[in-house]
């Protein structure tokens, strides 16, 4: 099933906080609750929250009250802002919401039922496109994986981070389905452990050989020559190639550079932001320190101990070997941003 889907007039999410223990879904019929679910990371991953934002707009169009579609626009515009504000760093969320908002603005003279259907159709198309785009990206990226190598991966960028398939782990999946045999080292990715909880769960499902690493250990294996390539996702890529991704990505990029290991950013073009000239233009979300001290309610240390919890960091383009997209494996400047 899909990570984000539309079922019987509601948005259905796989509850990623319950994995790897329980596979559960939650349905939303209110865009405000869906926005809250994005903030609380019931769903996470840049492409996944992009699709969730788009579906949230389809929900809002059903919640809006008005004799005409045009009369419903203020409500829908407010909903767009609420959804965009749910998380600040990944540009896909804004991209998905604004795409459907544009459809609302250009269809404001349609009959209400048709207006609502057109918004839903657009959200559905964004979700369908996401799967296809990820598979195309996987086909390009899997050429980087040779038999017998070891891939280092950070956070979760699999099917759970997208509508389906995935970005960096989508490349891993494509290589696996192409019959290649290789090993994946998964940074556990503190504080929320998306690597240990979600990526390991996915690789168990797919039957791909893996080991979880504490976030302290990747450098050790790089020094021993046991890591051949690094694949990570992105939450926003600036025009110059600087990109924001899960906290810890920047450290790995520095280490890969030091050891001469190829380092690739895998993200669809919907993750690229022409309005961000460089990484300095990307806002970094600060989250609750309780995610560090007591993640998922597990008291690692007393809750009153002080901690910091930046959710993302910025990796400069100078540390990136290449950018895997649905258009191929690119390097800056990204000409598609001008088209």
Site residues (vs its own copies, CB under 8 A): 20-21, 185, 187-191, 193, 196-197, 200, 204, 210-220, 223, 246-248, 250-251, 254-255, 257-258, 284, 292-293, 295, 298-302, 305-310, 313-314
Residue 235 known to be catalytic:
yes
Pick between residue 191 and residue 268 the one whose CB is nearest to its own copies: 191
Nearest C-alpha neighbor of 34 from the set 18, 54, 20? 54
Pick between residue 97 and residue 198 the one whose CB is nearest to its own copies: 198
In the complex, what is the shortest distance from the CB of residue 169 to its own copies, in angstroms, rounded to a whole number? 16
In sign, the C-alpha dihedral spanning 72, 75, 76, 77 is positive
Rounded-to-integer distance, Cα 237 and Cα 91, Å: 8
In the complex, what is the shortest distance from the CB of residue 305 to its own copies, in angstroms, rounded to a whole number? 5
Residue 142 sits at φ, ψ, to 5 deg, of -70, -15
In the complex, what is the shortest distance from the CB of residue 213 to its own copies, in angstroms, rounded to a whole number? 6
Pick between residue 20 and residue 66 the one whose CB is nearest to its own copies: 20
CB atoms within 10 A of CB 32: 16
Nearest C-alpha neighbor of 279 from the set 323, 250, 242, 249? 242
* The residue to which tokens 């795409």 are assigned: 99
Catalytic residue among 164, 187, 235, 273: 235
Pick between residue 270 and residue 294 the one whose CB is nearest to its own copies: 294
Residue 337's Cβ-count burial label (10 Å; 0-12, 13-18, 19+) is middle
- Residue 177: both structure tokens together: 């389905």
Beta bridge partners of 6: 11
Pick between residue 33 and residue 217 the one whose CB is nearest to its own copies: 217
**Residue 175 CA: distances (Å) to CA of 169, 212, 216, 234, 265:** 10, 20, 27, 20, 16
In the complex, what is the shortest distance from the CB of residue 113 to its own copies, in angstroms, rounded to a whole number? 47
In the complex, what is the shortest distance from the CB of residue 325 to its own copies, in angstroms, rounded to a whole number? 25
Catalytic residue numbers read 235
């Amino acid at each position: 099933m899909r990570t984000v889907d539309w079922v019987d007039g509601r948005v259905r999410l796989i509850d990623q906080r319950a994995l790897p223990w329980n596979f559960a879904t939650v349905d939303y019929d209110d865009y405000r609750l869906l926005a809250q679910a994005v903030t609380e990371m019931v769903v996470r991953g840049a492409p996944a929250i992009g699709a969730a934002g788009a579906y949230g707009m389809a929900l809002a169009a059903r919640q809006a009250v008005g004799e005409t579609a045009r009369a419903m626009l203020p409500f829908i515009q407010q909903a767009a802002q609420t959804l965009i504000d749910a998380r600040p760093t990944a540009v896909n969320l804004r991209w998905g919401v604004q795409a459907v908002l544009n459809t609302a603005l250009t269809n404001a003279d349609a009959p209400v039922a048709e207006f609502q259907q057109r918004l839903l159709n657009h959200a559905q198309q964004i979700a369908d496109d996401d799967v296809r785009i990820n598979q195309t990206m996987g086909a390009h990226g899997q050429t980087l994986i040779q038999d017998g190598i070891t891939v280092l991966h950070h956070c979760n960028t699999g099917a759970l981070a997208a509508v389906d398939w995935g970005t960096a782990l989508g490349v891993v999946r494509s290589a696996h389905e192409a019959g290649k045999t290789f090993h994946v080292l998964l940074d556990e990715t503190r504080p929320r452990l998306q690597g240990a909880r979600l990526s390991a769960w996915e690789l168990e499902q797919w039957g791909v050989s893996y080991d979880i690493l504490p976030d302290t250990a990747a450098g050790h294996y790089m020094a021993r020559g046991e890591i051949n390539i690094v694949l990570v996702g992105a939450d926003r890529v600036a025009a110059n190639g600087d990109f924001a991704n899960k906290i810890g990505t920047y450290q790995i990029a520095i280490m890969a550079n030091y050891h001469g290991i190829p380092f690739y950013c895998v993200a669809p073009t919907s993750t690229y932001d022409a309005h961000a000239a460089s990484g300095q233009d990307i806002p970094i979300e600060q989250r609750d320190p309780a995610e560090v001290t007591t993640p998922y309610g597990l008291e690692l240390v007393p809750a009153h101990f002080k901690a910091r919890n930046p959710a993302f960091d910025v990796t400069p383009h100078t540390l990136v070997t290449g950018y895997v997209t649905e258009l191929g494996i690119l390097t800056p400047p990204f000409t598609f941003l001008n088209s």
